[in-house]
Structure 1
Amino acid sequence: MARTEADGKRKDTSEGSIYETIKVIVQALLIALVVRTLLFQPFNIPSGSLIPTLLIGDYLFVSKYAYGYSKHSIPFSPPLFNGRIFASPPKRGDIAVFKLPKDNSTDYIKRVIGLPGDRIQVREGLLYINDKPVKRERIQDYQTNDSWGRQVQVPQYMETLPNGVSHVVIERDGDKGYWDNTYVYQVPANHYFMMGDNRDNSTDSRDEASVGYVPFENFVGRAEIVFFSIDENASAWKVWEWPWTVRWDRIFTRVK
């Protein structure tokens, strides 16, 4: 059967349409990769270590440019270079995502408490930085869950760090928790000391076997804004339940 000119035009048009579709998809993927690597990366909060600042079920954007870039800024942390480029050191009080030093792959999120050279200690629940107690003011109790999942009222404090950054912390076990009395930690050069705001329910730099001091190279970015939040026992994909399960008051709130 002879192939007509119309048949050839239809085939060319079809091939051109497929090519254009593939090109658009590739371009979109490249743009998404650039944005994720250089600008913002989304994360969700799976644990309660930063309660009441961040809740289980919060989804937030982390700025990748805040501290400059290391190999951990790139997906899968390829060993393309060492150290950081365009580096800007974290500030005390920042909430930052970092790669767990133990495996250099697991994402952790905590608050920056100790800077390089600092002496950090906790005595009877009170934080000391360079041998000076950090200002802590008792405020209204906070309702959370204990180790057995029961709702309890726990002490809540407004803590003010030496640089003037204030944030809220809770003491689920009062001032007698496992990590409420520590020895003095001397933060090494180019490392940081990280802690959760839920002081009795946070695996952080106080636990040197699990986290310890965090190298600057391991920082991924700074938490900036909560863009979505849903009850911890709900499923984000069940959109028909959103009117009741989404925490509308937390959406587009700054992380402080």
Structure 2
Amino acid sequence: MNSKSILREVLDFVKTLIIFMVIVILLRVFLFANFNVSGESMANNFHDGDKLIVSKLSYLISDPERFDVIIFHANNKQDFIKRVIGVPGDKIHYKDNMLYVNDQPIQENYLEQVTLDFTMNELLGSETVPEGHVFVLGDNRTNSQDSRSPQVGFVPIDNIIGKVSVRYLPYDKFDIGVSGNQALK
């Protein structure tokens, strides 16, 4: 091999590496994000230190669905992980440890704790989830700052970073598709 062909191969390798890095950066910025769970508000399903991949694309092409697990900007400094319980137009309340969505009882098989009775009107002064917002709860209902709190309230859909799609750490809890209605099974 002469020096020109070696140089050409090195330049081809560098171009390929640069293209690969640009693609990875674009995927990271526009399609996916990493998230580290901090706190116990989603226990027993997600724990402090769990590492997740969040799909940012999910809500660019569709609306949040009830029971999706999402990451959202709670304020300028914190991002929270919570479960969507109500979507725009939904009426949500709890009575005798049973979730009611639009007056229909819904079993939440992913919960292991009691949820105290409430209505959205009592907590937030609204009968229904406003347009452009969702109502979220943590799975650890006794230790979760969520939509029941005026500091969080209804979450603007524009504040949602994305839908949790993969748990990759700890390895023994690796799971794809950790968000959504399959949690009800």
TM-score, length-scaled by structure 2: 0.76
Change (3 A) 1:189 1:95: same
Q: Separation in 1 of the partners of 2:159 and 2:106?
A: 27
3-state DSSP of counterpart to 1:113: strand
The count of aligned residue pairs is: 166
| 1:21-41 deviation line (CA, Å, top 9, x unaligned) | 998886565333211122221
Q: Return 24-33 or 108-117, whichever deviates more.
A: 24-33
Shift of 1:122: 2.0
Q: Which residue of 2 aligns with 1:250?
A: 173
Q: Distance in 1 between matches of 2:23 and 2:174?
A: 25
Q: C-alpha distance in 2, partners of 1:198/1:220?
A: 21
Q: Which residue of 1 aligns with 2:4?
A: none
2:40 aligned counterpart, secondary structure: coil
The structure whose residues are more often helix, as a share, is 2
TM-aligned CA distance change 1:28 to 1:91, over 3 Å: same
1:1-256 map, 5 Å: 30-68=22-60, 87-100=61-74, 102-103=75-76, 105-135=77-107, 159=108, 167-171=109-113, 174=114, 180-185=116-121, 186-209=128-151, 211-229=152-170, 248-255=171-178, 256=183
Structure 2 unmatched ranges of 5 or more: 1-6, 122-127
Q: Secondary structure at the match of 1:34?
A: helix
Describe the superposition over 1:7-26 as per-residue Cα deviations: whole angstroms up to 9, x where unpaired.
xxxxxx9xxx9x99998886
Deviations 1:27-65 (A, max 9, x none): 565333211122221111111111111121211111111
User: Given residue 92 of structure 1, which amino acid in structure 2 is its aligned partner?
Assistant: R
CA distance in 1, matches of 2:55, 2:119: 34
Distance 1:252 1:212 in 2: 29
TM-score by length of 1: 0.57
Secondary structure at the aligned position of 2:99 is classed as strand
**Cα distance in structure 1, aligned partners of 2:44 and 2:112:** 7
Q: Deviation per CA, 1:192-232, whole angstroms, max 9, x where unpaired?
A: 001111111111011123x1101111111110111111xxx
Q: Secondary structure of the equivalent of 1:92? A: coil
Identity, % of aligned pairs?
Answer: 35
Q: Runs of 5+ in structure 1 lacking a partner?
A: 1-12, 69-86, 136-158, 160-166, 230-247
RMSD, aligned CA: 2.6
Deviations 1:162-195 (A, max 9, x none): xxxxx41121xx45xxxx1223342101110011
* Amino acid corresponding to residue 67 of structure 2 in structure 1: G
> 1:188 is matched by which residue type in structure 2?
P
Q: Match of 1:200, as an amino acid?
A: T
Does the 8 Å contact 1:170/1:199 carry over to 2?
no
Q: Distance in 2 between matches of 1:217 and 1:195?
A: 18
